[in-house]
Structure 1
Amino acid sequence: MSSRRVQILVALVLTALWGAGIYAGHANGHLRFLDRLEATLTDLRTLARGVQRAPDLVTIVAIDDTVVKRGGHYPLPRADLARVVDAIAQFKPKVIAIDLLLVDRGAGLGDAVLARSLAAGPTILAAAAIFPTASSSVARSGGEPLTALPQAERFLLPLPAFADHAEVGIVNVATGQSGSPLSVPMLFRTGDKVELSFPLRVATRALDKPLTIAPDHLMLGDRAVPTDTDFALPITYYGPRRTIRTLSAQNVFDGTLDRAAIENRIVVIGASVAGGGDFFPTPFDSLMPGVEVVSTAITHLISGDGILRDRKVHIADALAAILLPMLLVGLLAWRRSTLGLVAAAAVMVAWAALNLFAFTHGVWLNAATTLAAAVPPVAVFAGVQLWAGNRRTQYLTAQSRSLAQFQAPAVQEWLARDPDFLAKPVRQDAAVVFIDLSGFTTLSERTDPDTLQDLLKAFHALVDKSAVSSGGMITGFLGDGAMILFGLPRAMPDDAARALKCSIDLHRAVQDWMASLPPSIRDQLDFKIGAHFGPIVASRLGGSHQHITATGDTVNVASRLMEVAAQHDARLALSDRLLDAADFLGDPDSTLRGPLRTQVRGRSGTVTVWFWRDERQPGQAAAEADMAG
């Protein structure tokens, strides 16, 4: 397995472990900051879903500011509350639910009057669970299902005079860190005692169905009520306050209570007095009366339109927390480019759309946990990818610089476009120039190695400059010599002309350079150049480390022309084929001697050679170049 595959596999495993750890940590009561994020995201999804029409099952009779102004004080006197209950009972509701804590004795005969009113009809009273901390503590241990219930310190129950004539339910709601109620616990316990919630009592009485507590849900008769793992009912709001039908209790005192709003309905009596304290922030309303929150839960239980967040949904959340980050990391690893980023972004958009779609259709998939599981590993992996990409770019740039030292720029560009360039040998016409320092071997026997290295560097720099400026390709430095090829990556009409120019430039540059050397070195060195034009075979040689070269008679003749130059006391020998192909008309600062028909070593037949001589003084070319600059 390649190193990259191992790295990707390790990244995927670590990503999966991270996602599993995030989900497990949050599910076990840690990472509470995710609750605030989830509450915010839930509010946004609720707003995106928009206001919905509430099932017309519940009527709220609100003890509001109008009622308080009439009576002059709050809480409402027990006798007045009894009057409200009596008026409602006359219209035969299914059940009267009183969302008021009747835990203190009232003044005068009011308690007795209210007790008689409660005894006249099906009534549910609110009680409160008192917890040792500000929030309910929930056991997360395994075992019996009821061990996961909110553990109350004690229950604050209505006075016995009232409780003897009505059923009692716990009215507490569970709020997130944002203060918005996200669920309503259906069951509470203290010690060995279990109490039903206020909404559950109301729904059970209104439906007249037996309640069964299953391991992970509730049953109202034969209808299942999905709940969260701690038997809490997730709630989602229909809209702002008064979305659920709401009447003022003042209608009772005015004698204008609407029978149609009461008869055969669930009636919830509760307070909506400004400054009363029983308000909660919700997505649609910053001050939602607690009685409407409770009524929302009752409506969910009766109509079955609540949002689903049960064990199966939590399994889906766990899978999303593990698989989504792995998919994103896999996409970034698969395509380390814009395509990978676009694919990962598309997956995130698709996940967000699916999450919103599920929420608007009654399934509450956790968003905060999945984001916490996905964003950090994806950000880290993308950062590592970016760093590795920069390192690779630097490496490739360094390689390109190194290649530039061995291959002509035109050949580099050609290889980048066509990696198979010269994979098969190509026969074509080309010009070949050879240059060699004579006397260098003898000089090396008595000269310091560092000095020799400096000499070679300077000589190679001159050759490289002349070759590049003429558009030639150095196929290789042969110690104290070099071979320059004109005709790659493709043959050009001026290959011979450029080879001739290169030969002359090399002659003058090396001549001036040698004139600048110390006499002890200059007197031992000389140079020879041979140039020829004709057919060659260009190819790539080598296995894993290849180089481009040319072979054939033209190459051999160009090399042997250096010997011919030495034999005739010349430094530059040019074949007549090169001069003809270059269409050379002469140079006022030079002379041509020849033609000479001669044989070259290792070849039958003759070659016509011309010897080029520079008529300028050594250093004149450099001086003219400086003046031109």
Structure 2
Amino acid sequence: MSKRRFHSLIALALTALWGVGVYVGHATGHLRFLDRLEAPLTDLRTLVRGVKTPPDLVTIVAIDDTVVKRGGHFPLARSDLARVVEAIAKFEPKLIAIDLLLVDRGSAGDDELLAKSLAARPTVLAAAAIFPEAIEAVDAGNQDALASLPQAERFLLPLPAFADHADVGIVNVATGSPLSIPMLFRTRDKVELSFPLRVATRALDKPLTVAPDHLSIGDHTVATDAGYALPITYYGPRRTIRTVSAQAVFDGTLDRKAIQNRVVVIGAAVAGGGDFFPTPFDSLMPGVEVISTAITHLMAGDGILHDRKVRITEAIMVIMLPMLLVALLAWRRSAIGLIAATAVFLAWAALNVFAFTHGVWLNAATTLAATVPPVAIFSAVQLWAGGRRTQYFAARSRLLAQFQAPAVQEWLAQDPDFLLKPVRQNAAIVFIDLSGFTSLSEDLDPDELRDLLKELHALVDREASACGGTITGFLGDGAMILFGLPRQAPDDAARAVECCARLYQMVERWIALLPREIGDRIGFKIGAHFGTIVASRLGGRSHAHITATGDTVNVASRLMEVAAQHGASLALSDILLNEAGRSRGALAEGRLTGPLQTQIRGRTGELTVWFWRSAPQATQAIAEPDTVN
């Protein structure tokens, strides 16, 4: 297994463990902050879904600012509340639910009047559960579903005078933007129904059955979340559920059609009363409308689903989505992997929104908490490792660049297949070699010898690059320079001639500056020719180099011998000079002699050769051609 694959598998395993930890931590109540993150995400999906028309099952009679201005105070006097209840009862509602805590005694007459009013129609009163400051987390392993409910210290019930004539339900709602409402509450020795559930069971007039993952009201099943919480989704802004002011009772304008055969919920909607909640459509929605939303869901069965099956799907997503994203980033450590991972993430987001708008609530915060950290960490590690790899390869590239001409490097970068197939073309070839170097090597210290060669190679490289030549290789104390790669140019021959003249002058000056015991023992020779070559890559799989072969290369090399035989340091073929146009600019600072008809070792026929020597003064003209005998 490769090192990269092993690291990817380790990253996937750690990602899976993180996902499991996040899901279990949230399911057992140890990551409550995720609920605060889920609230705005749920609000966003609700806004995407838009306003819905609620079933016409519930009417809210609001004790609002108009009523308070009339009566002069809040809470409403018990006698006024009794009057409201009596007026509603005359229009034959299905049920009257009072979302007010009637726990304090009023005047005896007013309390008696309200008690009589409550007895006129089926009524449900609100109670409250009092919890300790620290609530223990739900024990997910407890086999008794009811025992897993958070335990309240006690219930704050309505006065017996009222409770004797009505049913009671617990009205507690979570602070902030409520995403769900508990359906069951318990103390040490008692379980009580929530206010919405008590209202729904009385309105439907069917027996209630509590199952591990749902509630049944007769044959009407309501799926619940963990801990018997009912997920709610708001229909729209305040007053989306039919709402009438209680002032209509006192004005005598209450509409029978708004009351008859409906559940009527009486509750406070007084500005500054404190019973308001932020919701997606409205920053201040009265608590009575939040409760009425839950009642409607229970009766109509149109709530959002977050039952056991949905939570299992959620768990799979929490584990699999981050693993899939990490796998994609590991699979293609490039833009392709990033695009694929982004596409998968967007597909998940679209699926989440689609499910929500169709009544299935997949918790987004938990999935994000399981996904973002491992993906971010893995991406950061990838970027860091990529930076390290980039630095490594850049260093290698700089190192390898020293072994290849810049023009060839650039061409190979543009075309990796450059010269995989041999190319036959015309080119100019220049060879340079030190004479006397072999005997000098026997006496010179190896370090001094190395420094000497390093200086020579640097000089040759500088002059060849200045003239646009390509060094195809250093041959110990010499080098081969090619003009015509990576592609042919009309001035290849002219630049080769210029390079020969510059090399002659620079090497002559370099030798003159060497210590006498070294400079007096060495010289140099240069040969140059123009003609047809075969440019190609030579070598095996592990190593290849670009070079040129053919008769032109051999002749250029042999011309160094011809120069030495005739006491010269530079020999140029007549073919090269003709191709170069015998440019005075390149050879002006010296004397050209020739032509010489000479035999080239190992080759049949003769070749016309010219010799060039650097003149003592820069103004010396080029001599007229002489015939060398």
Give the drift of 1:487: 2.4
Tell me which residue corresponds to 1:313: 310
Contact 2:493-2:580 within 8 A present in 1 as well = yes
Tell me which residue corresponds to 1:323: 320
Deviation digits for residues 77-110 of structure 1, max 9, x if unmatched? 3333222222221211111111122223331233
Tell me which residue corresponds to 1:170: 170
Tell me which residue corresponds to 1:95: 95
For 2:161, the aligned partner's letter is A
For 2:62, the aligned partner's letter is A
Is the alpha carbon distance of 1:274 and 1:556 closer, same or farther for their aligned partners in structure 2, counting shifts above 3 Å?
Answer: closer
Contact 2:149-2:186 within 8 A present in 1 as well = yes
Tell me which residue corresponds to 1:74: 74
Tell me which residue corresponds to 2:14: 14
Contact 2:589-2:619 within 8 A present in 1 as well = no
State the Cα RMSD in Å. 2.4
Is the alpha carbon distance of 1:123 and 1:151 closer, same or farther for their aligned partners in structure 2, counting shifts above 3 Å?
Answer: same
Contact 2:183-2:193 within 8 A present in 1 as well = yes
Give the drift of 1:585: 5.6
Is the alpha carbon distance of 1:327 and 1:60 closer, same or farther for their aligned partners in structure 2, counting shifts above 3 Å?
Answer: same
Distance 2:184 2:172 in 1: 10
Contact 1:104-1:159 within 8 A present in 2 as well = yes
Deviation digits for residues 331-376 of structure 1, max 9, x if unmatched? 3334433444344333333333332232222222212122222222
Distance 2:253 2:420 in 1: 100
Distance 1:162 1:514 in 2: 119
Give the drift of 1:588: 4.0
Tell me which residue corresponds to 1:626: none
Give the drift of 1:241: 2.3
Is the alpha carbon distance of 1:349 and 1:585 closer, same or farther for their aligned partners in structure 2, counting shifts above 3 Å?
Answer: closer
Deviation digits for residues 371-405 of structure 1, max 9, x if unmatched? 22222222222222222333333333333323332
Tell me which residue corresponds to 1:40: 40
In structure 1, the residue corresponding to 2:99 is in which secondary structure?
strand
1:423 to 409, 413, 420: 420
Tell me which residue corresponds to 1:449: 446
Between 587-596 and 116-125, report the one with greater CA deviation. Answer: 587-596
Deviation digits for residues 133-175 of structure 1, max 9, x if unmatched? 2768644333122233232111122223322222211111233
2:568 to 567, 570, 592: 570
> Does 2:219 align with 1:222?
yes
> Does 2:497 align with 1:519?
no
TM normalised by structure 2 equals: 0.92
Between 576-585 and 24-33, report the one with greater CA deviation. Answer: 576-585
Contact 2:267-2:288 within 8 A present in 1 as well = yes
Contact 2:180-2:231 within 8 A present in 1 as well = yes
Is the alpha carbon distance of 1:497 and 1:66 closer, same or farther for their aligned partners in structure 2, counting shifts above 3 Å?
Answer: closer
Between 529-538 and 598-607, report the one with greater CA deviation. Answer: 598-607
Contact 2:424-2:534 within 8 A present in 1 as well = yes
Is the alpha carbon distance of 1:585 and 1:43 closer, same or farther for their aligned partners in structure 2, counting shifts above 3 Å?
Answer: closer
For 2:341, the aligned partner's letter is A
Between 473-482 and 68-77, report the one with greater CA deviation. Answer: 68-77
Give the drift of 1:199: 0.7
Tell me which residue corresponds to 1:142: 142
Tell me which residue corresponds to 1:303: 300
> Does 2:201 align with 1:204?
yes
Give the drift of 1:220: 1.9
For 2:578, the aligned partner's letter is D
Tell me which residue corresponds to 1:153: 153
In structure 2, the residue corresponding to 1:539 is in which secondary structure?
strand
> Does 2:468 align with 1:471?
yes
In structure 2, the residue corresponding to 1:75 is in which secondary structure?
coil
Distance 1:276 1:579 in 2: 105
For 1:502, the aligned partner's letter is C
Distance 1:218 1:224 in 2: 6
Deviation digits for residues 576-605 of structure 1, max 9, x if unmatched? 232233232654432223333333333344
In structure 1, the residue corresponding to 2:83 is in which secondary structure?
helix
For 1:579, the aligned partner's letter is L
In structure 2, the residue corresponding to 1:387 is in which secondary structure?
helix
Between 149-158 and 460-469, report the one with greater CA deviation. Answer: 149-158
> Does 2:288 align with 1:291?
yes
Is the alpha carbon distance of 1:486 and 1:65 closer, same or farther for their aligned partners in structure 2, counting shifts above 3 Å?
Answer: closer
Distance 2:424 2:439 in 1: 39
Between 34-43 and 601-610, report the one with greater CA deviation. Answer: 601-610
Tell me which residue corresponds to 1:56: 56
Contact 1:515-1:619 within 8 A present in 2 as well = no
Distance 2:70 2:515 in 1: 119
Distance 2:66 2:472 in 1: 101
In structure 1, the residue corresponding to 2:426 is in which secondary structure?
strand
For 1:562, the aligned partner's letter is M
Distance 1:366 1:476 in 2: 67
Contact 1:141-1:147 within 8 A present in 2 as well = no
Tell me which residue corresponds to 1:125: 125
Distance 2:548 2:509 in 1: 30
> Does 2:267 align with 1:270?
yes
Deviation digits for residues 170-204 of structure 1, max 9, x if unmatched? 111233xxx12221111111124211111111111
Tell me which residue corresponds to 2:626: none
For 1:606, the aligned partner's letter is E
For 1:553, the aligned partner's letter is D
Distance 2:401 2:75 in 1: 91
Distance 2:617 2:142 in 1: 102
Contact 1:131-1:137 within 8 A present in 2 as well = no
Distance 1:89 1:459 in 2: 113
Deviation digits for residues 557-579 of structure 1, max 9, x if unmatched? 22222122112111111222322
2:395 to 391, 395, 398: 398
Distance 1:53 1:588 in 2: 98
Contact 1:570-1:613 within 8 A present in 2 as well = yes
For 2:167, the aligned partner's letter is E
In structure 1, the residue corresponding to 2:443 is in which secondary structure?
coil
Distance 1:607 1:106 in 2: 131
Contact 2:22-2:370 within 8 A present in 1 as well = yes
Tell me which residue corresponds to 1:557: 555
Contact 2:424-2:535 within 8 A present in 1 as well = yes
Contact 2:30-2:137 within 8 A present in 1 as well = no
Tell me which residue corresponds to 1:627: none
Give the drift of 1:511: 0.8
For 1:387, the aligned partner's letter is W
For 1:572, the aligned partner's letter is L
2:357 to 356, 360, 366: 360
Is the alpha carbon distance of 1:427 and 1:276 closer, same or farther for their aligned partners in structure 2, counting shifts above 3 Å?
Answer: closer
2:431 to 430, 434, 438: 434
Distance 1:134 1:315 in 2: 29
Contact 1:45-1:356 within 8 A present in 2 as well = yes
Deviation digits for residues 522-546 of structure 1, max 9, x if unmatched? 1111111111223333222222111
Tell me which residue corresponds to 1:413: 410
Is the alpha carbon distance of 1:596 and 1:233 closer, same or farther for their aligned partners in structure 2, counting shifts above 3 Å?
Answer: same
Give the drift of 1:510: 0.5
Distance 2:224 2:335 in 1: 43
Contact 2:591-2:615 within 8 A present in 1 as well = yes
Distance 1:34 1:43 in 2: 14
Contact 1:125-1:168 within 8 A present in 2 as well = yes
Structure 1 unmatched ranges of 5 or more: 621-629
In structure 2, the residue corresponding to 1:141 is in which secondary structure?
coil
Contact 2:224-2:306 within 8 A present in 1 as well = yes
Distance 1:21 1:438 in 2: 77
Between 72-81 and 474-483, report the one with greater CA deviation. Answer: 72-81
Contact 1:148-1:229 within 8 A present in 2 as well = no
After the TM superposition, list the runs of 4 or more consecutive aligned residues in structure 1 that deviate by more than 4 angstroms: 134-137, 617-620
For 1:330, the aligned partner's letter is A
